[in-house]
Structure 1
Amino acid sequence: MRLSQSFFYTLRETPSDAEIKSHQLLLRAGFIRKLGSGSYAYLPLMQRVIHKIEAIVRAELERIQAQECLLPQLHPEDLWQESGRLAAYQSEGILFHLQDRHKRGQVLAPTHEEAVTLAVKDVLKSHRQYPAHLFQIQTKFRDEIRPRFGLMRAREFIMADSYSFHTSAESLEDTYQQVGTVYQRIFERLGLNVVAVEADSGAMGGQKSREFMVLTGAGEDEVLYTQDGLYAANAEKADSLFSPPIKSRFTEHHKHHTPNTPTIASLCAFMDCDPTQVVKNVLYQAIFACEVLVPVLVSIRGDQEVNSTKLSNVLSEMFSGLGGLQSLEVPTAEQLQEWTTGELPLGYIAPDLPDSLIAFREGVHGQFARITDFTVSELENFVTGANEPDHHVYGANWGGNFSLGYLADVRLAKVGDRARHDPEQLLQSARGVEVGHIFQLGDRYADRLGLRYQDAQGHAQIPLMGCYGLGITRLAQAIAEQSHDENGIVWTLASAPYQVILTVANMADPAQAETGLTLYQEFRQAGLEVMLDDRDERAGVKFKDADLIGIPYRVVVGKGVQQSLVELVIRQTGEKQQVAIEDVQLVLLGLCVDRKPSSGVL
């Protein structure tokens, strides 16, 4: 590419709405251009980066016998209704939803589990056709509430998503692990430092999933990990050992007047007790797809917090017949008035808050869903509310004074907790950007959408599914976020739009201009990806642009041509060296070898 004849521009000023460095640099270097909120044009340089990443992803997936297909972006609403995900995605507010000319509901696909299941439904009929693994590289749409950080959280983005179908859990596990290994190899080829973490499956469903995180201070997700590298999990999924409680000094059960103590801190100061001796009781309201409101009461230790994701999963399991959880929140005073018979003793609630306080009305579940976290299930002589303003009880026990609710882990793991695999390891925190996510879906979609196969005995069976997503455009920006300096982007060789930028310092010098054009043609003939900066600009401007766009190697044709020398600059290190013109092509070919892994099939 000759810059003098190409669409190419850079900006000197940083756009005001670009918050993180990679977003700023991609805009300044002319890789992307904002069209609207969360919507970007991929300009020629970015399109080349995207194609590079897609080629690596495609090659690695094909190595494990995944076959490429292309699925529609526009899905009938009925299909999502049938799978049970329409309400869940609508409640999250991320689904682009429209009607066609016949008033039929349509969905712009944020993901393709329903579509791929329907595509294979009338094909995968026999156990002999399994396992099967299809993938596509396709644009997705998600109506993000707050699009930000450029391509990191956009409303339209490119994803590589694959789907596998199996007749056994063992087969599904094999492919799940195989794809995880493939993803790690893709990240290595791209030069990305990525951490695999345990994750929650969310609206996708399934019992097992793993996220792949690029650790960066600009990340929106919190990752909890151990220094030994043996544990990492998204904070919403993380598990840990909680500290043992301090032994309670209250040996008899009494109700005590505790004025102005609605918080754990104020109660502990008044009662001279430790938060680990307190059972706090937190109210939530859960609304399900069938428009039923379920009042929820969670009992958890005073020094701990509730993990809303874990709580949502527990409630979804407890009330699986109500069509999926749509929202979960701590109710406001106004919301409480809508489903209670009177004022609740907020700040002084006990685990046995009476169900009679729930209003008898349509759409409201008449009993509290009482959930007891494991942190309090074995507490003895604890302190808790008395269901009376300005009063608590102390010396309370389960079985004698209160009944345990549904036992579950709904606790939020936090920095400093001891790790389960090694109590000597303490959890640490980092921010991360999710670039990939793999799931074991089980039979959820196959069952609901009627996918069946005949086993060896001729009986109809429901196959198991896995799905595996990799954000192509997110990966592109993640590389820029992880690899840049004060001068611009530092693309890795495998992802760079071009391997070499050939900069002619002074196009008005015939010797420099002729040498630059000759080298450009020779480099291209040798198979090097090269851009020629032959613009009528000052050398300093060209050097700044070269650093900004981040091409791995720069060859400068300057005054040294009189001695048959050019300057080779390595973008990553800034190292400069004089190279004979006759040798520079061979040097570059050695530097630009794509060191791919062996070609054997996994």
Structure 2
Amino acid sequence: MRLQDRHERDFVLGATHEEVITSLVRDDIKSYKKLPINVYQIQTKYRDERRPRFGVLRSREFIMKDAYSFDTSEEGLDESYKAMYEAYKRIFSKCGLDFRAVEADSGAIGGTDTHEFMVLSEIGEDTIAYSDGSDFAANIEIAPVKAVVTNHNEQQVLDVEKKETPNVKTIEEVTAFFNVDASQTIKSLLFMINEEPVLILVRGDHEVNEIKIAHLYPNAQSIELATIAQTNEYLGCEPGFIGPLQVKDSISIIADHSVQTIVNGICGANDRDYHFINVNVDRDVSDLQYADIRFIQEGDPSPDGKGTIRFARGIEVGHVFKLGTKYSEALGASFLNEQGKAEPMIMGCYGIGVSRTIAAIVEQNHDENGIVWPKNVSPFDIHLITINMKDDTQRELGEQLYGQLRNMNYDVLFDDRPERAGVKFKDSDLFGLPIRIAIGKRAAEQIVEVKIRMTGEMLEVKVDELESTIKQLMEK
């Protein structure tokens, strides 16, 4: 499929790699004896990015590692998934990253279990909900909310009343008009799910999570917020005045668990410029279904019952999915089992953004002078600098140490440029290699200056003690 991007440059739309890989494996593997397998690729990818930013974090060209597992059973997929999950944890740990493996939504790729690997960073584009008392972490798009039960017997339940509320539509306007907290109001939104009306209720201080609604209707072809015309057709009023009382039996009603805790609440009356007060949904609304359909919030109890929810920004650097048979069934990727019967292969897919990982490492490891590379991923181990190349003693010692350090199996960047010392030191801090060795005025005494980039600590070291000193510093 050929197309043009927003700058009228020619593009060819790449095939979904799940489909290509499944087709290749389908044509090559026919027996259970050749399974399980895991195949991978590392390649450059291209994206019509509207606004490239943050260096290589959001760019038009980037490098990805993709892997795909094929198993004969769900148990086999569980093992493949766990192996890749643990491998990714080791990779990002060795990269020196502060990250979380969070529960996530599979989105358009499909599948069931899925985890994102999120590097904590203020410039992250995703929000992570995590517990301050346990290892729980999830993308806020899918983070479950722990239902809290409230004892209604502690408050007197009053009779419903209809109140005139001229031009009062939003939750903010309702709370100001009645002088109540938003938690005492019921926010009502009409959705069209497979072209059928469904009324969604959340507490006024909460937000509806459409991804959770989609999970309630996994086979739905369309889930959309109702138009003004549709709202008038089914509820007899415009948005801003709708509510769950006195609605048609044909309209399903789903309320978030938190709505059940509202005593004598306020909601729209399905009548322009009117609201109901003293609404108690368990008493006043029939055929009501409760579900977790809101976004989690900071301060909520952790879903695992340990601690309180906190938010952090994150950069997604990896993602693992259990695809199941979505692609293998559609593309006919089957194998013959031990009884000679054809069964679909059970698939998983796994990806690491290589370029993004590099960007994330820099985001978490830098200071005002430049990058501070963790030792495991630094492009060089040592930055060797000869301060004055015109000085024969400094030049000769520099060349000697370069060869000596290379023989010790260190990767060495040798700065032998005819530049001023200040320029070389500034560039060295910018590059951020773990150890800097500067050969200067004390070269004739066989003494060099060693700087540790991470801490800024400076050492004067004799050349014959340099090998042991570098070894100790690298092992820290």
* Both structures adopt the same fold (TM-score exceeding 0.5): yes
SS at match of 1:532: strand
What residue is the counterpart of 2:98 in the other structure? Answer: 193
Query: Following the alignment from structure 1 to structure 2, what is the Cα–Cα distance between the partners of residues 249 and 368?
Result: 30
1:188-267 → structure 2 map (5 Å cutoff): 188-241=93-146, 243-244=148-149, 247=152, 249-267=156-174
How much has 1:433 moved relative to structure 2?
0.7
The secondary structure found in structure 2 opposite 1:122 is: helix
Going from structure 1 to structure 2, the CA distance change for 1:159 and 1:126 (only over 3 Å counts) comes to same
Cα deviations across residues 150-188 of structure 1 (Å, max 9, x unaligned)?
211223211111111122222211221221111111122
| Residues 1:390 and 2:295 are matched in the alignment | no
Residue aligned with 1:298, SS? strand
Q: What amino acid is the match of 1:344? A: C
Distance 1:261 1:340 in 2: 17
1:168 and 2:61 matched: no
Q: Distance in 1 between matches of 2:51 and 2:199?
A: 31
Query: Equivalent residue for 1:177?
Result: 82
Q: Secondary structure at the match of 2:376?
A: coil
Distance change in 2, residues 1:273/1:500 (3 Å): closer
Deviations 1:545-566 (A, max 9, x none): 0010111111111111111111
Identical aligned residues as a percent = 39
- 8 Å CA contact 1:377, 1:404 repeated in 2: no
CA separation in 2, counterparts of 1:426 and 1:310?
21
CA contact (8 A) 2:77 2:346 kept: yes
CA distance 1:528–1:400, shift in 2 (3 Å): closer
1:88-130 Cα deviation digits (max 9, x unpaired): xx9xx99x9978xxxxxx5225x62111111101223222222
Query: In 2 relative to 1, CA 525–285 (structure 1 residues): closer, same or farther, beyond 3 Å?
Result: same
Change in CA separation of 1:227 and 1:396 when aligned onto 2, cut-off 3 Å: closer
* Separation of aligned partners in 1, 2:425 and 2:10: 49
Q: Is the 8 A contact 2:118 2:317 kept in 1?
A: yes
Distance 1:116 1:336, change over 3 A: same
SS of structure 2 residue aligned to 1:113: helix
Q: How many residues align?
A: 471
Structure 2, gaps ≥5 residues long? none
Per the alignment, do residues 545 and 133 of structure 1 end up closer, same or farther by CA in structure 2, a change over 3 Å counting?
same
What's the counterpart of residue 344 of structure 1?
Answer: 237
What's 1:497 paired with? 379
Secondary structure class of the residue paired with 1:494: helix
Counterparts of 1:579 and 1:154, CA distance in 2: 44
What is the CA distance between 1:491 and its match in structure 2?
A: 0.6
- The residue matched to 1:128 in structure 2 has which SS? helix
Q: Give the Cα separation in 1 of the matches to 2:28 and 2:110.
A: 24
SS at match of 1:238: coil
Q: What is the Cα deviation at residue 368 of structure 1?
A: 6.2
- Residue in structure 2 matching 1:107, options 13, 19, 22: 13
1:132 to 34, 37, 56: 37
Q: Within 2, Cα distance between the matches of 1:535 and 1:217?
A: 37
For residue 40 of structure 2, give the secondary structure of its aligned residue in structure 1: strand
1:450 aligned residue: 332
> In the alignment, is the contact (CA less than 8 A) between 2:231 and 2:239 conserved in 1?
no
Gap change, CA 1:477 and 1:192, over 3 Å in 2: same
SS of the counterpart of 1:351?
A: coil
The corresponding residue for 2:210 is 308
CA contact (8 A) 2:185 2:204 kept: yes
Deviation of 1:218 after TM superposition, in Å, equals 1.2
Question: Is the contact between residue 232 and residue 238 of structure 2 (CA under 8 Å) also seen in structure 1?
Answer: no
Aligned to 1:173, the other structure's residue is in SS state helix
Deviation at 1:226, TM superposition (A): 1.3
Within a 5 Å distance, the mapping from 1:555-594 to structure 2 comes to: 555-589=437-471, 591-592=473-474
* 1:158 and 2:40 aligned: no
1:524 paired residue among 398, 406, 423: 406
Match of 2:432 in 1: 550
Deviation sequence 1:475-531 (CA, Å, 0-9, x none)? 111111111111110111121111111100111111111111122122223322111
Q: Deviations over 1:243-268 (max 9, x none)?
A: 55684654323333233432334434
Aligned letter for 2:240? G
Q: Distance in 2 between matches of 1:481 and 1:586?
A: 32
* Displacement of 1:430: 1.1
CA separation in 2, counterparts of 1:183 and 1:387? 52
- The answer to whether 1:435 aligns with 2:317 is yes
After the TM superposition, which residues 391-410 of structure 1 pair with which residues of structure 2 at under 5 Å, given as runs? Answer: 391-396=274-279, 401-404=284-287, 407-410=290-293
Is the counterpart of residue 278 in structure 1 residue 185 in structure 2? yes
The structural deviation recorded for 1:386 is 1.4
Partner of residue 297 from structure 1, selected from 175, 199, 202: 199
Structure 1 residues without counterparts, runs of 5 or longer: 1-75, 78-89, 100-105, 287-291, 357-366, 596-602
TM-score (norm 1): 0.71
AA at the equivalent of 2:57: M
1:384: Cα distance to partner?
A: 2.2
Q: What per-residue deviation string (whole Å, max 9, x for no partner) do you get for residues 286-307 of structure 1? A: 7xxxxx8666532222232112
Provide the C-alpha distance between the structure 2 equivalents of 1:241 and 1:379, rounded to a whole number of angstroms: 16
Matching residue within 49, 55, 72 for 1:144: 49
Change (3 A) 1:369 1:529: farther
CA 145–243 in structure 1, closer or farther in 2 if over 3 Å, else same: farther
Shift of the alpha carbon at 1:233?
1.1
Does the 8 Å contact 1:164/1:467 carry over to 2? yes
Superposed displacement of residue 415, structure 1? 0.3
| Structure 2 letter corresponding to 1:255 | K
- Structure 2 distance, partners of 1:405, 1:592, is 64
